[in-house]
Chain A
Amino acid sequence: MTWIFLRQYRWPVAVSGLAALLLMVRPSPGMSWIGLGIVIFVWAFSADRAAARHRAAESEWRAAVRTNATNRPAYAGTSSSRPAVASADSDSSRDRARVRDEAIREAEHQLGAVRGAIDQLRRLESDAIARLTKSFTGLEAASREEGAMVRSLIESVSNGSSTGGHEVSFRRFAEETSGMLDFFVAHVLEVSKNSMGLVEILEDMARQMNTVGATVNKIGTIAKQTNVLALNAAIEAARAGQAGKGFAVVADEVRSLSKSTKHFSEQIHALVGEAQRSMGQANTIIAAIASKDMNVALNSRRRVDRTMAEMAELNTNVYRKLEQVNGIAKNVREKVSQAVTGLQFEDMVTQILAHLDQRAAAIERFLNVVRESTTNGSNGRKGNVASAMPLAELLAAAREASSDTHKQAVRQERLTTGSVELFS
């Protein structure tokens, strides 16, 4: 006991002893007595505190050993330690009550922190899930939009035609160019064919004109012969004298007619010559119209064909790439959809957190029972039997509440599908 005293209060003992020695050295005897008094008081008080602490520690250690040995539940510990409290003296009982109160307060504080953390966790989880859901939903919508765009592109590429009027389709452009080239070639052919037909008609006309010229020449010869004939007739009329006078007039008229005929045949000959010259000019013009270098069309056609081939290759490439992009987009949509499904674990987590909270509340209720028992124990040593009933009721109520929580947990487990293990 002395050893414990000296160990626990070595500083106050040492200081007060040194002070007493110093006061004894001083000449004043009054001060020495006062110093001695102080030393005695300090020593006595310290010894009393040391003894009380030692006893409290001993009884606590004994109670702990007893609790561990019987392996009783925590709430039973208070009632089992009550005889120890009752048997101890008033000072040690007060200390024990104080320590227990402190422990209970600490436990309640810790429980409060746990419930606060659960609440914070629930809020954080709910917030995070809301954001994730929103983000994934947005991602899914964007992915679906992208997929629709890619599909529409694939459609337009594979068809090679644009659904909208303003969209530029290179394939259609090439097809139109090709069609225009075909039209141009057909037009040139038509013109050439008609020109050659015309040329043939001109040739026929030229031949006919030659016939006309020959005929006109024959008419000229006849006119010449008629003239000679009229001249002979005039000579014969002159020889006949008076009797041939009238005949001479006729011969003269025939001669003038033959001259007129000669004149007209010469005119016709000249006109035929002019017509033939005009036909020659027409021939030249038609030759220019009919003769078109087909190499221009050939080169154009080759360019268009080459462009078409390149376009087809490009289209094939684009189509292949778009198919790949479509596959990726589909994959992304599936993954996002899976993620959104996965986010439904929020419900389970919320249930688990709610249950944890309820468990913490149950512990608080049990702690309350313990506290009540402590205050009853310290306040009324006289009314232990009378206050036992409300305590038992409190305990029963706490058990009832925790049993409800347990049932609820079991029900939640039944409600949730899948292999998630909840409380039991």
Chain B
Amino acid sequence: MAGQVTVSQGEQEVVIAVNGRFDFYVHKEFRDAYERVLQKGRAPKFVIDLAGTEYLDSSALGMLLVLRERVGTETKIDIVHCRPEVKSILEIANFHSLFHLS
């Protein structure tokens, strides 16, 4: 199924959940999700919830890296609820040095 991005903003963190396929075709939604938050001001923490992510390709990794650059090194980004396959791909990409994976 085509990817869907949902955003929920809490007190301390912004949760961006990606369901279905996390690929190039969700980039606009994904970008809008964090740009909207960033336009309001600096977010203390981002949480990327991949519980519903079935598939993830290199463009998704590229988007996460762009986000990492966009928010700056002071803002924490957690990637949570990864499926084993997704987590393996993130580890291959050496994401554990840039994000907090769980």
Contacts and interface: CB of A to CB of B under 8 A. Distances in A.
Interface stretch (B43-51, B53-61, B74-82): B53-61
A193 B56 CA distance: 14
Contacts of A298: 85, 88-89, 92
Contact of A291 (B31, B57, B65, B89): B57
A291 B21 CA distance: 12
Contact of A294 (B24, B27, B31, B61): B61
B89 A290 contact: no
Contacts of B28: 203
Interface string A188-222: 11011111110110010000000000000000000
A301 B92 CA distance: 8
Contacts of B92: 185, 294, 297-298, 301
B94 to A, nearest CB: 8
A295 B85 CA distance: 9
Interface in B26-75: 27-28, 31, 56-59, 61-63, 65-66, 69
Q: Chain B interface residue count: which class?
A: 20 to 34
Contacts of B58: 188-189, 191-192, 290-294
Nearest to A289: B59
Interface in A283-333: 287, 290-295, 297-298, 301
Contact of A290 (B24, B31, B69, B93): B24
Contacts of A301: 92
Given A189-B62, A193-B62, A287 B24 contact: yes
A192 B58 CA distance: 6
Contacts of A295: 85, 89
Contact of B65 (A192, A199, A293): A192
Contact of A196 (B66, B85, B88, B93): B66
Interface of B: 23-25, 27-28, 31, 56-59, 61-63, 65-66, 69, 85, 88-89, 92-94
29 contacts: A182-B94, A185-B92, A185-B93, A185-B94, A186-B94, A189-B62, A189-B65, A189-B93, A192-B59, A192-B62, A192-B65, A193-B66, A193-B69, A194-B62, A196-B27, A196-B63, A199-B24, A199-B27, A203-B28, A203-B31, A290-B62, A291-B24, A292-B58, A294-B57, A294-B61, A295-B85, A295-B89, A298-B85, A298-B92
Interface of A: 182, 185-186, 188-189, 191-197, 199-200, 203, 287, 290-295, 297-298, 301
